[in-house]
A and B are shown apart, each in its own frame.
Chain A
Amino acid sequence: MFDPGRPLTGVRVADLTMIWAGPYAAKILADQGAEVIKIESPRAWDNIRTLLPPPMALGEHWWNTNFYLHEYSRNKKSLTLDLAAAEGKQVLARLLPHCDVVLENYRTDVMDNLGLTYDWLREQKQDIIVVGMAGFGKTGPEKDAVGYGPIIEMMSGMTSTSGYGDDGVPYKSGISYGDPIAGIGAAAAVATALVQRQRTGKGQYIDLAQREVMSTMLGEFYMDWSMNKRLPEHMGTGHDWMAPHNVYPCVGDDDWIAICVRTDREWEGLKRAMGSPEWAERTEFSDQILRWEHRSELDELVGKWTATMSKTEAFAALHTEQIPSSPVWKMLEVLRDPHLKERGFYEPLRHPEVGIWSVHGWLWRADGAGPCILGPAPDFGQHNTEVLGGLLGLSEDEQSALEAAGVIASQPEGVPLASEMPPTPSML
């Protein structure tokens, strides 16, 4: 039976990625039905497992339980394998014929250093699809530059576009924006290469530079530079023709609501939502151009209205009038957004060691799909036996030998149990 939610069912991915961008890509592939085997070395595991130590990470086996790991690695399988060891590489060579895709987001030179060149990978599986996601790509004078999301964002042009406008300071996005964007791009690259393989019988090598994917989302700024040699001004929360167009303070602790008016019709609706105040009838607010010209004063007056109520009260009034608006949801609030709740965007995730919490489900929802979350992120090496014994047919003795040689493991090397650690400050 075809499951419309999981069109990549039957695709197997050898996932060598770590931290954010790569695991985000692999998460999408796993959600879409691919069998994603997350491969980590007992000595060089996905850093995200241990980035936020207890007390941030709950659970005695905290490298399996921390919340950050589960953001990216639900629905995946875990295989440990030391790819720097000859035996590890031999196991990978046995695994690759069963795989369709190899995904990696190492520093540019690491795959070659490990001997895992495209040529070698292709020798193991002739039509393998390989996606490398180095920050700046595999060629060119900046190929050896390294960077996490905010560096990618800065180097893409994105950060130069953001700022309050009154101080000249560029601002990065709140998240490591470059990472998920590169991840989405890489998921598209995998699916596209699968489509092409289906047509030609051939695999391919894809060199996806994270910075380049991010930079494609800024086309109009490149055009303005091309056409007018003009660089973007920082707009803050304003707009070049809409007014009101801002965030307005509400009753509460640092609580805000975003309101935008695009047309005279919406302005009439906003006036009704505000209880038809007299000031709104003033000539200087009577059309879009005038409102934009008097936007500072207008912002102040709208802000006086919002400041008398909570952001949910303001939103209710604006929603009734169908005005583009939204509370500036905090993290704990977006989890409870009634709209997202009704759509079932957040789904429960259960981990045997720490219980249940909610994570986001489908990025997009195919009609007829069931729940997105099939299971939590796998424990370190949880599927060693299933993959090595089941899929590859290694005997118990062979698996024990690998374990004795430190090629596979069920615990990251040198990481103590939570109860054996002093409490540690977290970078978050």
Chain B
Amino acid sequence: MSEHEQSQPEASRPYEGVRVLELAEGISGPFAGRWLAALGADVVKVERTAGDPSRAFGPWPDDLPDDETSGLFLYLNGDKRSVTLNLDTSDGREILRELAASAEIVIESFEPGFLAERGLGYDELSKDNSALVMISITPFGQTGPNANLPATELTLYAASGQMWLTGHPARQPLKNGGSQPSYQAGLNAFAALSAAYYGAVMHGQGSYIDLSMQETYAAMAEAFHNRASQLGIEAQRGGNFLNALWGVYELSDGYGGICALPRNYPGFARAVGLPELQDERFSDPPQRLVNNDELMAIMYGWFSGQTRQGLMELGIEHRVPFGFVATFEDLSNSEHLQGRDFFAQRDDEAAGSLTYPGRLWLSSGHDWKMGAAPKLGQHNVEIIHAELGYEREDLVRLRELDAI
């Protein structure tokens, strides 16, 4: 391996010294903020006085609910500072304006209009800060007839067209697992912010970005959408199979499969080793599609005799796109991932020993912070008193007014 692959992180991280105000709850906005924090930004997480609702979602150690040990919250909010602000009070709004004055980036995920109605829209926040980059992440964007329609992961998966494509053709459409509409929006937001911030650095000019979760997911419909728009052909959900060489099969110890394009066929046939795969009715790409059912029957038989690890090794040896359905146990114990420093591994003060993804990529130019998430309002004194210069008595008054 050449030297760059053993990265020598420099002290500098790309967003060091960048102030980010995170007015976002749940998954999407905090996921974007998490990566900015990991890469050096000072992310001030502004929470409602009751806290980000994700503090109330598990998992928790031993299933004991606690605002400071939600696995979801800890995952999404490492290395941020937490300040509580009630934006329905004038003091809360004033403190937010003061924080925004020194911010380079604002991430918000309120309902469209919420901030503007409180005098905290982009126009107001950027008045004396024209390089400010601000993103609004909402289910359907800031405009249009559905702008204020509430949404869930399920309804967004349906609205983006993704759900129609997922699941068994003979059964109802299926949602993929977890909170993918939110996570993909958060990842898109991180890309949007990094590009827009670069523009702001280069030109001294910020921007306001409207990100719709429905749109970012709808933009991933690959061939299915473009085929519909150019040729008028509707897609059918295919379950686990596009064809015999593109699907998920049952193995002897779990599930796994293959995704082979025509150019992968020779290697595939060698790896599998069945003589009939050399027949022209399978080796010739057009004939293979015509004889798909027959090939699939052969593959069902072959895969049922394979193990997950055996399949992986065969794939590596023959450079064939084989894989298996990995579990979080497999992944957490993966030598490959551990060797690549993929995981943050920490003993959390409140939540115990934790192993979770700690970075997006490896870089020769920077590493990633993987620290603890803040307790609710942990940095109120540090930020409102020490940095913004409010007196301690002010803090008492603000607390009594339910502003913090």
Q: Does B214 contact A (CB under 8 A)?
A: yes
Contacts of A219 in B (CB 8 A): 71-72, 75-76, 356-357
Q: B97: CB under 8 A from chain A?
A: no
Q: Which of B205-213, B298-306, B377-385, B389-397 contacts A (4 or more CB under 8 A)?
A: B205-213
Q: Mark B216-254, 1 if CB is under 8 A from A, else 0.
A: 101111111111111110110111101100111010000
Alpha-carbon distance between A107 and B239 when the two chains are bound, in angstroms = 28
Which residues of chain B from 352 to 404 have a CB within 8 Å of any chain A CB? 352-357, 359-366
| B87 at the binding interface (Cβ < 8 Å) | no
Query: Are the C-beta atoms of A204 and B364 separated by less than 8 Å?
Result: yes
Interface residue A234 (Cβ < 8 Å from any Cβ of B): yes
A305 within 8 A of B: no
Q: Is the interface of B mostly helix, strand, loop or mixed?
A: mixed
The proximity string for B residues 317-358 relative to A, scoring 1 for CB distances below 8 Å and 0 otherwise, is 001111111111111100111011010000000011111110
Task: Say yes or no: B220 contacts A175, CB within 8 Å.
Answer: yes
Q: How far is the CA of A196 from the CA of B175 in the complex (A)?
A: 38
What's the least CB distance linking A249 to chain B, in Å? Answer: 8
Chain A interface: which size bin? 35 or more
Q: B361 is contacted by which of A4, A58, A212, A334 (Cβ under 8 Å)?
A: A212
For B315, what are the chain A residues with a Cβ–Cβ distance below 8 Å? 145-147
Q: A137 contacts B362, CB within 8 Å?
A: yes
Task: Tell me if A149 is interfacial: C-beta within 8 Å of chain B.
Answer: yes
Q: Mark A378-392, 1 if CB is under 8 A from B, else 0.
A: 000000000000000
Considering the complex, give the chain A residue whose CB is closest to the CB of B354.
A226
The answer, yes or no, to whether B149 is at the interface (CB within 8 Å) is: yes
Closest chain A residue, CB of each to CB of B287: A425
Given A117-B2, A222-B331, A365-B209, decide whether A342 and B223 contact each other with a Cβ distance below 8 A.
Answer: no
B225:A360 contact, CB within 8 angstroms: yes
Any A CB within 8 A of the CB of B23 = no
User: Does B127 reach chain A (CB closer than 8 Å)?
Assistant: no
Identify which of residues 152-191 in chain B touch chain A, using a CB-to-CB cut-off of 8 Å.
152, 154-168, 171-180, 183-184, 187-191
Q: How far is the CB of B140 from chain A (nearest CB, A)?
A: 6
Does A292 count as interface, using CB distance less than 8 angstroms?
Answer: no
A343 to B140 Cα, complex, angstroms: 10
Stretch at the interface among B53-61, B88-96, B112-120, B272-280: B53-61
**Contact across chains for B229 and A146 when beta carbons are under 8 A apart:** no
**A184 touches which of B143, B167, B188, B323 (Cβ 8 Å):** B188
A337 to B141, CA, bound (A): 14
Other-chain residue from A145, A192, A224, A256 in contact with B39 (beta carbon distance below 8 A): A192
Q: Which residues of A contact B195 (CB under 8 A)?
A: 7-8, 28, 32, 187, 191
Which of A51, A137, A150, A222 is within 8 Å of B261, CB to CB?
A: A51
Residues of A within 8 A of B166 (CB): 162, 171, 173-174
Query: CB within 8 Å of A: which of B124-165?
Result: 135, 140-141, 143-146, 148-152, 154-165
Task: Name the interface residues of A283-309: CB closer than 8 Å to any CB of B.
Answer: none
Q: Among the listed A198, A204, A213, which residue makes an inter-chain contact with B360, where contact means beta carbons less than 8 Å apart?
A: A213
Q: Is the CB of A427 within 8 A of B243?
A: yes
- Which of chain B's residues have a CB closer than 8 A to the CB of A146? 315, 319-321
**Residues from chain A with Cβ under 8 Å of B188 in the complex:** 184, 363-364
Tell me if B282 counts as interface (CB < 8 A to partner A).
Answer: no
Known: A171-B240, A247-B172, A332-B234. A227 touches B354 (CB 8 A): yes
Which of the residues A144, A327, A343 comes within 8 Å of B316, measured between beta carbons?
A144
| A191 adjacent to B198 (CB under 8 Å) | yes
Q: How far is the CB of B72 from chain A (nearest CB, A)?
A: 4
Cβ–Cβ contact A174 & B14, under 8 A: no
A272 interface contact, C-beta 8 A? no
CB-based contact A224/B58 at 8 Å = yes
- Establish whether residues B224 and A331, one from each chain, have CB atoms under 8 Å apart when the complex forms: yes
Q: Are A47 and B164 in contact (CB under 8 A)?
A: no
Q: Which of A71, A112, A160 contacts B223 (CB 8 A)?
A: A71
Chain B contacts of A139 at CB under 8 A?
1, 5-6, 339-340, 362
**Looking at chain B, what size class is its interface with the partner chain?**
35 or more
A416 to chain B, nearest CB (A): 14
Q: Report A327-341 CB contacts with B as 1/0, cut-off 8 Å.
A: 111111111011110
Q: Are A148 and B259 in contact (CB under 8 A)?
A: yes
In the complex, B289 has a CB within 8 A of chain A:
yes
- B102 on the interface (CB 8 Å rule)? no
B163–A247 contact, CB under 8 A? yes
In the bound complex, CA of A247 to CA of B230 (Å): 29
Inside 8 A of B235's CB, which chain A residues have their CB? 330-331
A324 CB contact (under 8 Å) in B39, B74, B152, B224: B152
Chain B residues with Cβ below 8 Å from A10 are 202
Interface centre among B231, B250, B290 (most CB of A within 10 A): B231
A193 touches B363 (CB 8 A): yes
Chain A hits for B361, CB < 8 A: 131, 185, 189, 206-209, 212-213
**Chain A residues whose C-beta falls within 8 Å of the C-beta of B337 in the assembled complex:** 140, 212
B386 to A: closest C-beta gap in Å: 27
Residues in chain B near residue A368, CB distance under 8 A = 207
Please name all residues of chain B whose beta carbon is closer than 8 Å to the beta carbon of A112 when the two chains form the complex. Answer: 2
A7 and B321 contacting across the interface, CB-CB below 8 Å: no
Within 8 A of B (CB), among A351-400: 354, 357-360, 362-368
Complex: how many Å from CA A207 to CA B3?
12
A267 within 8 Å of B by Cβ?
A: no
Q: Verify B194–A188 contact, CB threshold 8 A.
A: yes
**A161 beta carbon closer than 8 Å to chain B:** yes
Q: Are B156 and A364 in contact (CB under 8 A)?
A: no
Residue of chain B at shortest CB distance from A27: B219
Closest CB-CB distance, B329 to chain A, in whole Å?
6
In the complex, which residues of chain B have a beta carbon less than 8 angstroms from the beta carbon of A227? 59-62, 71, 351-352, 354
B2 touches A357 (CB 8 A): no
* B159 A364 Cβ-Cβ under 8 A: no
- Give the nearest-CB partner of A51 in chain B: B261
In the assembled complex, the CB of B164 is this many whole angstroms from the nearest CB of chain A, namely 5
Pair A427/B289 contact, Cβ less than 8 Å: yes
Chain B residue at smallest Cβ distance from A197: B365
The answer on a CB contact under 8 Å between A67 and B226 is: yes
Residue from B154, B174, B216 in contact with A239 in the complex, judged by beta carbons closer than 8 Å = B154
Distance in angstroms from B317 CB to nearest chain A CB is 8
Q: Distance in Å from the Cβ of A370 to the closest Cβ of chain B?
A: 13
CA–CA, A151 and B176, complex, Å: 15
A56–B289 alpha-carbon span in the complex (Å) = 15
Q: Is the CB of A222 within 8 A of B225?
A: no
Distance (whole angstroms) from the CB of A170 to the closest CB of chain B = 5
A113 at the interface (CB under 8 A from B): no
Q: Are A237 and B135 in contact (CB under 8 A)?
A: no
CB distance from A167 to the nearest CB of B (A): 9
* Chain A residues numbered 241-292 whose CB sits less than 8 Å from any CB in chain B: 242, 245-247, 249, 256-260, 262, 266
- Contact check, B242 vs A335: say whether CB atoms are below 8 A apart: no
Closest 9 CB pairs between A and B? A7-B199, A161-B177, A174-B165, A223-B71, A204-B365, A219-B75, A191-B194, A151-B323, A196-B14
**Beyond A226-B356, A364-B211: 5 further Cβ-contacts under 8 Å?**
A147-B322, A148-B259, A206-B363, A219-B356, A258-B158
Pairs A–B under 8 Å by Cβ, sample size 16: A47-B261, A145-B322, A150-B259, A194-B198, A198-B201, A215-B342, A221-B178, A259-B155, A327-B159, A328-B163, A329-B160, A331-B228, A332-B234, A335-B225, A367-B210, A368-B207
